[in-house]
A and B are shown apart, each in its own frame.
Chain A
Amino acid sequence: MNTTQPIPTDRIVFEETIPGGAMWSCVLNRHRTLRLTDIEGGVNVSALLYNHDQLLDRLNLPDTLKAQHTAKLAPGYVLYSDMGRVLCSVSADTCGWHDPLGGHSTAALVQSKYGASTYQNERNAFHRNARDQFLIELGKWGLGKADLVANINFFSKVVVDESGKMHFHPGNSVAGDYIDLRGEMNVLVVLNTCQHPMDPDPKYNPKPLGLTVWKSEPPAADDLCRTFRSENERGFILTEALFR
């Protein structure tokens, strides 16, 4: 099931495009929505989320998966913190599968796949990896290695077969696909556009990403994500208790 939603242009807070291999972070205030747009097709976005008001309250993928009995993210699903709260809701999504299993690339992995690459030799075309990009961007918020937990890979698809084997599916996302993340609290979003660690492309070829934030509406009583399953109704109760 894929869903779309129009962005009211008079409510846009900002728009930005970042290149492949780049890092980025922002505080997504409560009830604003961040749209990630795959500009060329085939982008991967490795991402982490934290409660900006209380940084120890952070994305917990095991809790996200088991509460919603899922090994993928799609419209209606929410991203849970380790305190049982909803950080962000997937309020719209044209892609239909985002990967919570594959983790992120490292310097060693990028070198083994694409060869050695240094700033000294290649200036700003040097190869980036997700772990280094996370550590840099987390450092700007006073966070570090201990805060680098299991991440999501937006726009990527990893399927698990009957025997438990993991398979990366190229072509999951095409140019123009987007996912909307509605902040259900004030959320620190930390992301980068490095290639998925299981991407079989033999070339270092990370893709650009479009970012749009707008002032969206709070989730209504019949909101897709709130009513998606009874677990999510309770997750919203626990989250909204923070703001009473």
Chain B
Amino acid sequence: MSTLIYTESQLQPEHAVYDCTLPSGEGWMHEIKTGQTFRIVDLEGNQAVDTLFYNAHDQTDRYSAQDTIREQGSIYLTTGTKLISSEGNVLLTIVADTCGRHDTLGGACAAESNQVRYAIEKKHMHNCRDTFLLTIAKSSYGYTKRDITHNINFFMNVPVTPDGGLTFEDGVSDKGRYVEMQAERDVICLISNCPQLNNPCNAYNPTPVRLLIWD
């Protein structure tokens, strides 16, 4: 694996205008204004944070994994990555990262994909798509399943090999690692803090994350 680059932030949590802890298995939907900085902290290590972003003024202008990786010419997200929308707009830029690599190919877990990946009987386990659907249903934004698309998995390590293989490797994150991004326009963030119990990436132990916003 290539060397990971770590970039620290100078922002102090006591100055944040928003600070919450999101347990695993729960959802979060929140607006981040132009110029604000948003940090996700992996409190206990190797937690997957399934994340989507939308232009706050046009929900069809949304995070696009394919546009983001193609425009930077690399499949991994880290400091400097511009998170690009389906309309070609920069939604946010990653400005600090003490994990070094984040995935945007693996998508979210769902009841039905768990059946395919693990066993037909796994249908009734809690999963990210259910969290996404419940979170948007309870919100006032009017989003539907059509708006749930190809997400980011912060703190996940999903390498692709030169012969076209895709693997879920042990995490490269650790307790207290964080990723921080600055909003380039008003965005809505939708998170499912992943409850996956079948994946060794998180040592079968989903854990809470901390979410902070600075003006």
Give the interface of A toward B (CB within 8 A): 56, 60-63, 65-67, 69-72, 74, 80, 82-85, 97, 101-104, 106, 108, 144-151, 159-166, 197-198, 231, 234-235, 237-238
Number of interchain pairs (Cβ within 8 Å):
134
Tell me which of B30-38, B40-48, B71-79, B177-185 binds A. B71-79
Assuming A62-B107, A102-B66, is B150 touching A84 (CB within 8 A)? no
CA distance A209 to B86 in the complex (A): 26
Set B115, B129, B146, B166: member contacting A66, Cβ < 8 A: B166
- In contact, B110 and A63 (Cβ under 8 angstroms): yes
What is the number of residues of chain B that contact chain A, defined by CB distance less than 8 Å? Answer: 48
- In contact, B75 and A66 (Cβ under 8 angstroms): no
A-B contact pairs, 29 of them (CB 8 A): A60-B113, A61-B150, A62-B107, A62-B151, A63-B113, A65-B105, A65-B106, A65-B166, A66-B107, A66-B158, A67-B116, A71-B165, A82-B113, A84-B112, A101-B66, A101-B75, A101-B105, A103-B64, A144-B60, A146-B60, A148-B86, A151-B66, A162-B1, A164-B76, A164-B159, A166-B75, A197-B70, A237-B120, A238-B112
- In contact, B110 and A82 (Cβ under 8 angstroms): yes
Chain A residues within an 8 Å CB radius of B160? 71, 160, 164
> What's the minimum C-beta distance from B110 to chain A, rounded to whole angstroms?
7
Chain A residues within an 8 Å CB radius of B165? 69-71
Say yes or no for B174: interface residue by CB 8 A criterion: no
Say yes or no for B57: interface residue by CB 8 A criterion: no
Say yes or no for B209: interface residue by CB 8 A criterion: no
Chain B residues within an 8 Å CB radius of A65? 105-107, 166
Assuming A71-B165, A84-B110, is B70 touching A62 (CB within 8 A)? no
Chain A residues within an 8 Å CB radius of B145? 56
Interface string of B138-152 (1 = CB under 8 A from A): 000000111101110
- In contact, B70 and A102 (Cβ under 8 angstroms): yes
Chain B residues within an 8 Å CB radius of A237? 120
Say yes or no for B13: interface residue by CB 8 A criterion: no
| Beta-carbon nearest neighbor of B166 in chain A | A71
Say yes or no for B12: interface residue by CB 8 A criterion: no
Assuming A101-B75, A145-B86, A231-B116, is B69 touching A166 (CB within 8 A)? yes
- In contact, B70 and A198 (Cβ under 8 angstroms): yes
Chain B residues within an 8 Å CB radius of A163? 2, 74
> What's the minimum C-beta distance from A103 to chain B, rounded to whole angstroms?
3
CA distance A101 to B144 in the complex (A): 25
Chain A residues within an 8 Å CB radius of B164? 70-72, 74, 97, 159
Say yes or no for B200: interface residue by CB 8 A criterion: no
Chain A residues within an 8 Å CB radius of B119? 234
| Beta-carbon nearest neighbor of B104 in chain A | A62
Chain B residues within an 8 Å CB radius of A63? 107, 110, 113, 116
Interface string of B178-194 (1 = CB under 8 A from A): 00000000000000000
